[in-house]
């Protein structure tokens, strides 16, 4: 199926992790009504199914709707931040077709240490790291030099990431590791902090995947001394200095550098087996080395997100982006049959 093929009248259920009386409820993440309305404008029959933590209700809701395709926006389930993995597995088990990555791909991208091992196998640069498991075991991925950046091993959306995450000595390191273990109930990963420019590169497609134009994170407005990272305040607290001091822009780059960033992003996307769409976070050092920080399968699709911004820069407005992801999923299942 090419980009020019337009599917219409597909019965689609938009699946999300919150329960609300209707899709316009403020309880929903704004991406839910955005995707649902866009799919309707594209000519599809669309319903929204939001289930917070009831597996039986989820299965019965899908059984009643009998969708041709689920547009999967299930980021968690109940209070389980990693509930998107078993939900994808459940969709596989009951034979429901859905957009985005499956349980294996989601797990690979969420486990930051495991994904780095896959990158290592493909000779892709990544920050050296150590994992402090909750059972006190230590797993190292190279000899580390301070400063280190400490974050949860599996959580995303910058959960638990703050100015304190950048540590400069052993005492700070152990305090931050203890915080992640006790407050976030996760193992901690400590990575060498890579100084340089940060780029977010969206990738879309399966065979072959294509990189979108790089988005650069502009840290120039951060308070003096603040680490140049997108921490939880920079992402979510609109009144904070960190939020006001960072912005994302379509990067203006020489063709050769743009191509290098896009190649690394596609290589990382493939290494972690992401399907349909995702985003790869990169750091470019002063010496020109490109490090993969994270690979995000089934990344955030809100119309003002970095992924949508990159798609627009590539000529894919929001409706065409949602249409493309839908087509990719249908194509993938048709290919399997």
Three-state secondary structure of 88-127:
HHHHHHCCCCECCCCHHHHHHHHCHHHHHHHHHHCCCCCC
What digits encode the pLDDT tens for the residues 244-278? 888 999 999 999 999 999 999 999 999 999 999 99
Q: Quick one: 231 and 329 in the same domain? A: yes
Region 202-215 average pLDDT: 97
Residue 220 has a pLDDT of 87
Report the Cα 208 to chain-centroid distance in Å: 20
Q: Quick one: 74 and 152 in the same domain? A: no
Q: Quick one: 306 and 292 in the same domain? A: yes
pLDDT at 300 over 50: yes
Least confident among 115-124, 183-192, 276-285? 183-192
The answer to the question of residue 121 being in a domain is no
Q: Quick one: 144 and 75 in the same domain? A: no
pLDDT at 42 over 80: yes
CATH assignment at residue 230: 3.30.470.20
Q: What distance in Å separates the CA atoms of residue 271 and residue 104, rounded to the nearest whole number?
A: 13
Confidence of residue 4 (pLDDT cuts 50, 70, 90): very low
The answer to the question of residue 1 being in a domain is no
Residue 1 has a pLDDT of 36
Q: Quick one: 205 and 179 in the same domain? A: no
Domains in the chain: how many in total? 3
Residue 222 has a pLDDT of 83
What rounded mean pLDDT belongs to the chain? 89
The answer to the question of residue 116 being in a domain is no
The answer to the question of residue 117 being in a domain is no
Percent of residues, the chain, with pLDDT higher than 90: 68
- Cβ(209)–Cβ(170) under 8 Å? no
pLDDT at 216 over 70: yes
Residue 243 has a pLDDT of 75
Q: Quick one: 328 and 215 in the same domain? A: yes
Q: Quick one: 188 and 199 in the same domain? A: no
CATH assignment at residue 34: 3.40.50.20
Domain end marker among 192, 224, 241 = 192
pLDDT at 100 over 80: yes
Q: What distance in Å separates the CA atoms of residue 69 and residue 325, rounded to the nearest whole number?
A: 12
Strands (E), 188-276: 188-192, 197-204, 210-211, 215-218, 247-250
Least confident among 119-133, 145-159, 188-202? 145-159
> Is pTM, for the whole model, over 0.85?
yes
Q: Quick one: 199 and 327 in the same domain? A: yes
**Could you list the residue range(s) of the whole structural domain that residue 153 is in?**
128-192
Q: What distance in Å separates the CA atoms of residue 58 and residue 13, rounded to the nearest whole number?
A: 12
What digits encode the pLDDT tens for the residues 47-92? 999 998 889 999 999 999 999 999 999 988 877 878 899 999 999 9
């Amino acid at each position: 199926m090419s980009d020019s093929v337009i599917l219409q009248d597909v019965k689609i259920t938009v699946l999300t992790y919150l329960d609300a009386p209707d899709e316009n409820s403020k309880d929903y993440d704004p991406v839910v009504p955005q995707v649902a309305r866009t799919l309707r404008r594209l000519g599809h029959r669309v319903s929204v199914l939001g289930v917070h933590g009831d597996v039986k209700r989820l299965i019965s809701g899908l059984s009643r709707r009998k969708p041709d395709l689920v547009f999967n926006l299930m980021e968690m389930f109940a209070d389980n931040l990693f509930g998107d993995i078993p939900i994808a597995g459940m969709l596989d088990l009951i034979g429901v077709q859905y957009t985005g990555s499956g349980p294996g791909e989601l797990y690979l991208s969420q486990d930051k240490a495991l994904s780095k091992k896959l990158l290592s196998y493909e000779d892709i640069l990544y920050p050296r790291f150590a994992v402090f498991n909750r059972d006190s075991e230590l797993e190292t991925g190279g000899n580390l030099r301070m400063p280190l950046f400490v974050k949860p091993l599996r959580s995303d959306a910058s959960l638990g990431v703050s100015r304190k995450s950048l540590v400069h000595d052993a005492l700070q390191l152990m305090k931050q590791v203890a915080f992640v273990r006790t407050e976030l109930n996760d193992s901690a990963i400590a990575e060498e902090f890579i100084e340089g420019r940060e780029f977010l590169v969206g990738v879309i497609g399966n065979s072959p995947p294509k990189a979108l134009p790089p988005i650069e994170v502009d840290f120039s407005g951060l308070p003096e001394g603040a680490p140049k990272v997108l921490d939880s305040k920079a992402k979510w607290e609109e009144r904070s200095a960190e939020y006001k001091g960072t912005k994302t822009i379509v990067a203006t780059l020489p063709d050769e550098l743009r191509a290098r960033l896009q190649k690394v992003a596609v290589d990382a996307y493939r290494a972690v087996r992401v399907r349909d769409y995702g985003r790869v976070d990169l750091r470019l050092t002063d010496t020109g080395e490109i490090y993969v920080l994270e690979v995000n399968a089934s990344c955030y699709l809100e119309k003002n997100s970095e992924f949508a911004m990159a798609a627009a820069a590539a000529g894919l407005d929001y409706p065409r982006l949602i249409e493309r992801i839908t087509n990719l999923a249908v194509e993938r299942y048709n290919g399997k049959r």
